[in-house]
Amino acid sequence: MNPNQLFTSGGTPTIFWVCGICGRGFDSQEGASRCCCCDVCGKPLDKKRDYSRRHRACQLERERKSYEERIVNSEKLESWDGPVFNDVGGSGDERDYYANIDDMIEAIEDKECELPEYVFVCDTVPLQLDFDRIIDDLVTDTFDDSEDQLSGLNEFGNAVKAFNDKNTDVCYWCIDYSRAVKIKTK
Ligand SMILES: [Zn+2]
Ligand SMILES: [Zn+2]
């Protein structure tokens, strides 16, 4: 903001400009003009050297829009009895996972918030070790054929399988941004 061009001690203009608010240097007038301004709305930031470079409200608005775009572009389901994720409003206050639609409706009504038109469905994913990935991570960036020189892969594979088999019902919910389910009619 308020860019000032720098001059040499002899009075010759240089290509450098500084922001009139924070004093940071730039190699263009445009760069110095944009400094200390929100990169969403272009208006001055509330505080100097705000490295997020956005007003909080502008950031939330941008998140809300991108959430809504994802809803618009998703496949719409008429019904769903699994877990769902809701982030309507983008304020973070209502951002939450629910075991099912009924739980979500109850929670939102308790908060006296408005019900969303759609929410994303979630996949239920068991916590499982990925044997191939563990070995890949181990040998990547080591030396050629290092995997072939490892001993005990079979035993380790069996241990991983035994571990996974014992933990099939330990799951987490993963948002599926490609599918949303209808909650209320507009
Ligand atoms: Zn600045
Ligand atoms: Zn802004």
Mean pLDDT of 59-68: 88
Ligand nearest to the CA of 46: 2
Ligand nearest to the CA of 53: 2
pLDDT digits (tens, 9 = 90+) for 120-140: 999 999 999 999 999 999 999
180 has a pLDDT exceeding 80: yes
Ligand nearest to the CA of 41: 2
* Mean per-residue pLDDT over the chain, rounded: 90
Looking at residue 49, what is its pLDDT? 64
Looking at residue 51, what is its pLDDT? 73
41 pLDDT band, cuts 50/70/90, is very high
Instruction: Compute, in angstroms, the gap from residue 28 CA to the centroid of ligand 1.
Output: 13
151 pLDDT band, cuts 50/70/90, is very high
Looking at residue 90, what is its pLDDT? 46
Instruction: Compute, in angstroms, the gap from residue 3 CA to the centroid of ligand 1.
Output: 9
Looking at residue 132, what is its pLDDT? 97
Looking at residue 148, what is its pLDDT? 95
Rounded Cα distance, 176 and 183, in Å:
16
Looking at residue 93, what is its pLDDT? 57
Looking at residue 6, what is its pLDDT? 94
Q: Which of 54, 118, 122 is nearest to 88 (CA)?
A: 118
Instruction: Compute, in angstroms, the gap from residue 18 CA to the centroid of ligand 1.
Output: 8
Instruction: Compute, in angstroms, the gap from residue 140 CA to the centroid of ligand 1.
Output: 43
| Ligand 2 ion local residues (Cβ < 5 A) | 38, 40-41, 55, 58
Instruction: Compute, in angstroms, the gap from residue 27 CA to the centroid of ligand 2.
Output: 24
89 has a pLDDT exceeding 60: no
23 has a pLDDT exceeding 80: yes
Letter string b/e over residues 89-123, b meaning 16 or more CB atoms within 10 A of that residue's CB: bbeeebeebbeebeebbeebeeeeeeebebbbbbe
Rounded Cα distance, 42 and 35, in Å:
10
Instruction: Compute, in angstroms, the gap from residue 32 CA to the centroid of ligand 1.
Output: 7
Which neighbouring-strand residues pair with 35?
A: none
Looking at residue 94, what is its pLDDT? 60
10 has a pLDDT exceeding 60: yes
